[in-house]
Chain A
Amino acid sequence: MRKCLPLFLLAFLALGSTCFAEDMKVGFVYVSPVGDAGYSYAHDQGRLAVEAMDGVTTSFVESVAEGQDSERVIMNMARKGYDVIFATSYGYMDPMLKVAKDFPKVKFLHCSGYKNAENMANYFGRIYQARYLTGMVAGAMTKSNVLGYVAAFPIPEVIRGINAFTLGAQAVNPDVQVRVVWTKTWYDPATEKEAGKSLLDVGCDVIAQHQDSPGPQEAAQERGVYSVGYNTDMSAFAPKSHLTAAIWNWGPFYTEMVQQIKDGTWKSDFYWYGLDKGIVDIAPFGEMVPADVQKTVLDKKAEIASGAYQVFTGPIKDQAGVEKVAAGTVMADGDLLGFNWFVQGVVGTLE
């Protein structure tokens, strides 16, 4: 079967181009509304890049609950003749895998999970690299040495980001601590803002977030302290507080995948690109960030992008001070994917 598939695909493509030169249909499934100015918005910017390709049309369904709803949405896309389907939240993993088994000709790409099939790939970006850089900015700008982090769910993706942010902050300011509060929601502007305020109340003077709305940014601006955004450049929502943001740039990756599928060279894999491919980046610095800080951060960015520096290089200690990664050792991707402990300097629990 594995050998026949490319042949079959070629035949199918040849047939397609001669008999009915139809556009390739690419569907996207989002967990929140695209107007969230955050995670789904960033993915939708990527979709627009795909839409601009020749011979491709795209569409999307937004605000799809993880679980049963997502299975139906993905299945309906497959039934309606979509050739490629991107599902952009980790809870879509099992539903997508089920549908992928029923539609072997459709290509499925799932973001942020770990299960693959012959026609289902997995992809994500090393956003933790950008988080590390934003952590450096926050660590340099704090006066109280207490940073706040509004986080969605205690899952490896989020924990990894918090750890990278903390290590980045510690790289420029060893005394810094990062306080974490969980909201248990990806997208709830009011809850996120309240969580941000609760962190300000305990003395944090930079608020970072792993959330999809700019709520925490607004909380920081209202109190006159700094903030670090996520997903997209959130400076429009909090121009006075926004230092920078860890941002997604899905366009290059999405167009690359769709082009490969069009050319018939695509294969299922685990794609995990980072600063090197420009999938993740940091937003332009706010004008309050001094030039020397900007330079340090940009130098580090170049180092990470070239592969000269790895974010999770030992020695790394956990919250209890036990050395988990020996000096000079780089954490393996498998360990990063299952990250379930905080590094030293993080104040918070995993529940």
Chain B
Amino acid sequence: MLQLSAVRRQEPLGWGSCLVFLAALALAFVVSGLLLAMQGKPPASALWLLVHSAFGSGYALEDCLIKAIPIFLCSLGVGLTFRLQIWNIGAEGQFALGAVGATWAALTFPDWPWYTLLPTMLICASLTGSLWGIIPAVLRLKLRTNEIIVTLMLNYVGILILEYLVYGAWKDPGSFGFPMTSEFVPAAVVARIGDTRLNWGLLLCLAVGVLMTVFLRSTRLGFELRACGENVRAARYARMPYSLLVILVMGVSGALAGWAGFLEASATLGRLQPSIMSGYGYTAIVVAWLANLNPLIIAVSSFLLAGLRVGMESLQLDLQIPAAFGAIMEGFILLAVLAGGFFSRYRLHLRRIG
């Protein structure tokens, strides 16, 4: 008789895990294809259209990059906290507060030139965003509250603060009562790169992505962060600064989500309005897990997920495939990749018994 058992791998799988990832992706595509076939849509050409309209043209790549920016920033932040096994579900609220902070600066100093106004907006967004991250961090350390609940609840509070402001004090008097601030002055809008529709926020993403990689790999604090994430008790025993790290990662995470809010308000909308909230803070959690919390892979998966969402719109337009299919496919991909992670950590062992 044969018995199948899973044995933990002693050596990391290395390039093999790339293979596992691709296989998981392929599986998700096959299942999605079957679903399409069940709706009477041509699966092969539909999936080709999906890929082509997401990555097949200069426009499409631009669209994906633009959409990937806020997802990447939020995801980089939550990924950092997840490394420490701090479950920050609050990127959505931190995003909202960042947008509020940046908007405050834009509305308060409209006469400033861009080279002072934009940095001020960035700093304000960092402060408000990180404040929204540090509150649950301190509560966790001092009162042992569960940060999952607190960050989740603060999301609602953050969004309500944003709404309170745009429905009230900051409402544009010329907007016929619609909830939006007046348009930002040109100096408060992050400029586009050359003739493209991309904005300079992309450069910020690159810089912060590199910094994060260097920080995690090559600094002492980065090492301690990884160590604490693996085993808090052992790390504390080694006198690693756990409390400091919790506050640090939550602050940085909040600031990064805040930057995403700043860029969305400034570069994409040119004002603050409630529709700025489109769930990037929650998408970020999916992306962080897809990427196994690795900053470089977070960049790639933000881009791919943005592509999936952009491509789905073409699928809707050209083949009348319902929007919900995109969400289903996203779910399949996440499920397949996470399940595939099992094969990266374990190998299957077949043996004869009896």
Contact = CB atoms under 8 A, between A and B. Distances in A.
Contacts of B278: 65, 67-69
B282 to A, nearest CB: 13
Contacts of A80: 317-318
Nearest to B319: A59
B310 interface: yes
Contacts, number: 87
Nearest to B53: A76
| Chain B interface extent, by class | 20 to 34
A201 B164 CA distance: 26
Interface in B270-291: 270, 273-276, 278
B178 A90 contact: yes
Given A59-B320, A72-B313, A155 B178 contact: yes
A65 B67 CA distance: 13
Nearest to B327: A63
B314 A76 contact: yes
Contacts of B252: none
Interface residues of A, number: 37
A210 to B, nearest CB: 15
B275 A67 contact: yes
Contacts of B269: 67-68, 94
B168 A351 contact: yes
A60 B316 CA distance: 7
Interface in A46-99: 59-69, 71-73, 76-77, 79-80, 90-91, 94
B59 interface: yes
Nearest to B316: A61
Interface in B61-100: 63, 66-67
B163, B178, B322 — which one has the most chain A CB atoms within 10 A of its CB? B178
A68 B176 contact: no
Interface in A4-51: 27, 33, 35
B323 A156 contact: no
A155 B167 CA distance: 9
B273 A114 contact: no
A72 B65 CA distance: 12
Interface string B174-211: 00111100000000000000000000000000000000
A91 B273 CA distance: 9
A289 interface: no
Interface string B288-327: 0000000000000000000000100110111010111000
B264 interface: yes
A68 B268 contact: yes
A338 B270 CA distance: 22
Given A76-B313, A76-B317, A79-B59, A159 B275 contact: no
Contacts of B268: 67-68, 71
Contact of B163 (A62, A68, A184, A350): A184
Nearest to A73: B313
A206 B2 CA distance: 67
B324 A91 contact: no
A68 B177 contact: no
A79 B168 CA distance: 38
Nearest to A65: B278
B276 A154 contact: no
B224 to A, nearest CB: 38
A339 B164 CA distance: 19
B167 A340 contact: no
Contact of A63 (B177, B276, B323): B323
Contacts of A154: 167, 179
A59 B66 contact: no
A159 B167 CA distance: 13
A325 interface: no
Contacts of B167: 154, 350-351
Contact of B324 (A33, A184, A339): A33
A59 B176 contact: no
A77 B66 CA distance: 18
Interface string A312-344: 000000000000000000000000011110000
Contacts of A35: 322
B323 A62 contact: yes
Contact of B318 (A59, A68, A351): A59
A339 B177 CA distance: 7
Contact of B177 (A65, A76, A77, A159): A159
A198 to B, nearest CB: 17
B164 A61 contact: no
A76 B67 CA distance: 14
Contacts of B164: 351
B322 A33 contact: yes
A153 interface: yes
B317 A59 contact: yes
Interface string B230-259: 000000000000000000000000000000
A33 B323 contact: yes
Contacts of B177: 155-156, 159, 338-340
Contact of A155 (B179, B310, B320, B322): B179
Contacts of B59: 76, 79
Contacts of A338: 176-177
Interface string A120-157: 00000000000000000000000000000000011110
A340 B176 CA distance: 8
Given A153-B179, A155-B178, A66 B317 contact: no
26 contacts: A27-B317, A33-B324, A60-B320, A63-B323, A65-B275, A66-B275, A67-B273, A67-B278, A68-B264, A68-B278, A72-B310, A76-B59, A76-B63, A77-B317, A79-B59, A80-B318, A90-B178, A91-B275, A153-B179, A153-B274, A154-B179, A155-B177, A155-B178, A156-B177, A337-B176, A338-B177
Interface of B: 53, 59, 63, 66-67, 163-164, 167-168, 176-179, 264, 268-270, 273-276, 278, 310, 313-314, 316-318, 320, 322-324
Given A67-B275, A154-B167, 18 more contacts: A33-B322, A33-B323, A59-B318, A60-B316, A61-B316, A63-B323, A63-B324, A67-B269, A68-B268, A68-B269, A72-B313, A73-B317, A76-B313, A76-B314, A91-B275, A94-B269, A156-B177, A340-B177
- Please provide the 8 A-B residue pairs with the shortest distance between their CB atoms, ordered closest to farther: A66-B275, A63-B323, A67-B275, A340-B177, A65-B278, A338-B176, A68-B268, A156-B177
